[in-house]
Amino acid sequence: MNITGKTLSFSVLAMAVLLNSAVRAQDVVVVANPGVLITTVTSAQLRDIFTGVHSTFPDRSRAVPVTLKGGPVHEVFLRNHLGETPDGFRTFWRKLLFSGQGVPPKEFASEAALLQFVAETPGAIGYVSRVSDGVNVKVLVVQRNSR
C-alpha cells in the first residue's frame, strides 16, 4: 500500500471513530405509549423501572420497559440514565432471572421494532436515537438526578 492509500485508510478510520464518539456523546429520546399519562420522568424513576424495582409509573399505571439489544443508543441510555454498562445490565438481569426474582425487559434488534411495540403496547416505555414525524409514541422529558 502506498502513502496515499495509508493516509486514506487512516482518514476513514479516524472519521469512523469521530462519528461513533458523536453518537455516544448524544443523549437518547425516551418514548412511551401514547396512553401513558406522565410527561416527565426522572433518571432515578427510569432506573427503577428498567431494573424491575418498580413495575409502575409515578401515577401508579403499569410500566412495560423495553430495550434495544445493543449498540451506541443502548450504551448511552444505560450510562446516562441507569449508570450501567451493557455487561453490568445484562449480568444484573441474568442474576435476577436465574434466581427467579424477575424477568428482563423485552429486547429489540432495531429502533423501528421497538417503536412499533411501544406504540402498540399500553404502558410500554423505551428509548431511541430520534422519533420521526408520524410515529405514534409520546416523548417523555427526563429530569436528571431527582426523585
The domain ranges of the chain are 27-143
Over the chain, what is the mean pLDDT? 84
* Residues 117 and 124: beta-carbon distance below 8 Å: yes
Q: For the chain, what is the total number of helices (H) and then of strands (E)?
A: 5, 6
* Residues 118 and 125: beta-carbon distance below 8 Å: yes
pLDDT digits (tens, 9 = 90+) for 8-21: 444 444 444 444 44
The fraction of the chain above a pLDDT of 70, given in percent, is 80
Averaged pLDDT, 19-38 = 75
* Alpha-helix residue ranges (DSSP H) falling in the chain: 3-25, 43-50, 72-77, 86-98, 111-120
**Longest alpha-carbon distance in the chain:** 65
* Residues 138 and 39: beta-carbon distance below 8 Å: yes
- 35: β partners: none
Averaged pLDDT, 58-72 = 95
Specify the pLDDT at position 3. Answer: 52
Query: What is the rounded CA–CA span in Å between residue 30 and residue 95?
Result: 26
- 31: β partners: 126, 139
CATH topology for 27-143? Answer: D-Maltodextrin-Binding Protein; domain 2 (3.40.190)
pTM of the model: 0.79
Confidence of residue 27 (pLDDT cuts 50, 70, 90): confident
Specify the pLDDT at position 16. Answer: 43
* Residues 67 and 74: beta-carbon distance below 8 Å: yes
